Amino acid sequence: MQEKELISIGRITGTHGYHGLVKVSPLTDFPDRFNELQKIILDTDREQNEFVIETCRKHKQQLLIKFSHIDNLETAKQYYGALIKISEEQLYPLPEGHYYHFQLQGMQVEDIELGRLGELKDIFETGANDVYVIMSEQYGEVLIPAIKDVILDVDLELNRMRVKLLPGLIEHK
């Protein structure tokens, strides 16, 4: 991940009232984080601007947020659809052994018996456990469950994940 890359944690889905409040749909498992944040980046696809969160409160399944310099309905409407982004330094810390999806995507995956499998391209959230999609030159698309019996270790610095595939996950060629 590049130093300047930002992480999306919410999307503006509408306005509320006439004083610049916006409705935000959280894109995070930690919506309470908005109460702790001060500065964020609003990304409209055309530009990225820094704003200060003045107030934040829950409203149904969304949040109502008042940003600095967005003081009326017309200005708030300009940010409809904008992504709320933060830097990696502002991320909510996860317990040891847990990772954000963006940290895992692009990682090189190695099986302890077969060697290099390929690159982790996507992650499906299934409810019981995530499923990692590995694109392999040798085996094609490999789907592996993100469970302790399969994922042996993750090394963010080396961009490597070591796994022990369950029998039958891929056909040996």
Strand pairing report for 160-163 and 108-111 = parallel
101-163 topology per CATH: SH3 type barrels. (2.30.30)
Pair 146, 112: CB distance under 8 Å: no
Read off the pLDDT of residues 150-163 as tens digits, 9 standing for 90 and up: 999 999 999 999 99
The answer to whether the pTM exceeds 0.85 is: no
Classify 54 as helix, strand or coil.
Answer: strand
In angstroms, the CA 54 to CA 66 distance is: 5
Q: What is the mean pLDDT of the segment spanning 116-126?
A: 93
Backbone angles phi, psi at 169, to 5 degrees: -70, -35
| DSSP β-bridge partners for residue 63 | 24, 58
Classify 140 as helix, strand or coil.
Answer: strand
Read off the pLDDT of residues 45-76 as tens digits, 9 standing for 90 and up: 999 999 999 999 999 889 999 999 999 999 99
Pair 104, 123: CB distance under 8 Å: yes
Read off the pLDDT of residues 64-109 as tens digits, 9 standing for 90 and up: 999 999 999 999 999 999 999 999 888 888 888 888 888 999 999 9
The CATH class of 7-90 is mainly beta
The torsion region of residue 166 among left (phi > 0), alpha (psi -120 to 50) and beta comes to beta
Read off the pLDDT of residues 10-20 as tens digits, 9 standing for 90 and up: 999 999 999 99
Closest CA to 132 of 88, 96, 163, 167: 163
Closest CA to 22 of 100, 96, 79: 79
In angstroms, the CA 46 to CA 95 distance is: 35
**Average pLDDT for the chain:** 91
- Top pLDDT among 102 and 133 is at 133
Structural domain spans, the chain? 7-90, 101-163
